[in-house]
Amino acid sequence: MTFRRLRPGPSARAARPRPAPRRLLLAAGTVLALLLLCLGALPTGSQAAAATQPCDIYAAAASPCVAAHSTVRALYSGYDGPLYQVTRASDGATRDIGLLAAGGYANAAAQDSFCAATSCTITRIYDQSPRHNDLTVEPAGTAGAADRPAQATALPLVAGGHKAYGVLITPGTGYRHTDASGVAVGDQPESMYMVTSGTHVNGGCCFDYGNAEHTISDTGNGHMDAVYIGTRCHNPPCTGAGPWVAADLENGLYQGSGNNPANRGNATPFVTALLKNNGRTAFALKGGDARSGALSTWWDGALPSGGYTPMHLEGSIVMGTGGDNSNASAGSFYEGVMTSGYSTDAADAAVQANIVAAGYSGGSDGTSGRTISAPGGTCVDVDGDDIGVDHAAVQLWQCQPAAVDQHWTHDADNSLRTLGRCLDIMGNATAAGTKVQLWDCNGVGGQKWVQQPDGSLRNPQSGRCLDTPSGATANGTRLQIWDCNGSAAQQFGLT
């Protein structure tokens, strides 16, 4: 378990030259027109379809979407297809999760029903654009083994008053579409944004969304063009502790053409992270709170030297990893689009207004459950840095507020869940001393835990309680079941 830090950072708008009065007037008029288009028929508490969504805005500004991915909502007003596919652990069956209404929000109840009493993973994220650039689980690359799919219930949230699920990226999780249709190649211009989190981040490489190599390998500077968020500072010194929105241009996470102290980071729970690149000379970075306000421009200037002018794009799409499948990153993904062409500032502003009106709220980092306090002032924790694979040991560890794997939900079936899996007695055994682990939720007796008046967590099937061996409290102490005895070693509180 690595130590996780969460430090909020202020946002600021980078200084830019003041435009000439006529250009300012025209730009203001364009912004107003697009904002009126965006705000004229936004979704309300009902499921009436929006008259305009991000890809409608970009299309009207002559930079149409060539990729549009979201597990939360439609990114076109007329879209009424599937958002994503889940695969059930119990039998390998799949289900497409669609919308409550055309142009609206995800039908999370369909996922909940399909995945009841088991676990599900997200195995496909559908492209809503006519290009059909669907994202599937990323195969092995030169910097990482084949990835895992995200757990489907690990990132619950609320959008527009409706329950939905995001994609929780933990180390070893990632998605890709190789050789996508319509995505920029060579030095063609493009733009992209993602709605993500500024609180579920790390410094591992690299939580990206955007243009990547065809071969899942590092083919050189300028062969990537992806928007990044995280705490990795490539050109120090960086302002504050991050996380920062940056451009992953391959072999560099650029906040500008070099060091850029004007980039003050985006640490809000929901972040809009935007990158656009003209392919030859310049790029721009913007970021803002996805719940309110406008975007801040962190950079609008020259591309870095050293192989980036011009770019050498290969036209694949990556989400959650680097171009060579560097997959040590953590992040949250809710929606993202890529466009053909360099978007206008007016369109970017209108898209941000649309995102704000979408009403993102609730958990943005997977910590929406409750911690389980344990002996010695520790917390119940899963071995590894928010990875949570089957067989992962459940243990004691110092409490860390930003640790996803220390936040559990106690469901109506008496299961305790984190990272989309359940607290499980190994082999569904009942003997004293049997260790506990994380495992796919399957409704067996070894996954039932009932809080007792004395503070213990009792497993009814075995009649035994969750226990720390011999009362140990050190980090990494593996938990077990033992005869219920009311001792301090069995005091676990859902807080």
Catalytic residue, chosen from 218, 324, 383, 440, is: 324
Distance in angstroms (rounded) separating the CA atoms of residues 124 and 176:
10
Active site residue 80: no
Closest by Cα among 448, 469, 471, 470 to 460: 448
Backbone angles phi, psi at 191, to 5 degrees: -135, 160
- Which residue in 190, 225, 248, 250 is the catalytic one? 250
Q: How far apart are CA 483 and CA 49, in angstroms?
A: 56
The Cα–Cα gap between 334 and 27 comes to 29
Residue 391 burial (10 A CB sphere; 0-12, 13-18, 19+): exposed
Residue 153: closest CA among 103, 207, 84: 84
With contact defined as beta carbons under 8 Å apart, do 122 and 85 qualify? yes
d(CA 165, CA 157): 6
In contact, 279 and 171? CB cutoff 8 Å: no
Indicate the length of the chain as a whole number: 495
CA distance 43 to 352: 15
Q: Residue type at 355?
A: I
How many Å from the N-terminal Cα to the C-terminal Cα in the chain?
Answer: 21
Please indicate whether residue 213 is annotated as part of the active site.
Answer: no
User: What is the rounded CA–CA span in Å between residue 495 and residue 493?
Assistant: 6
Q: Which residues have a catalytic role annotated?
A: 250, 324
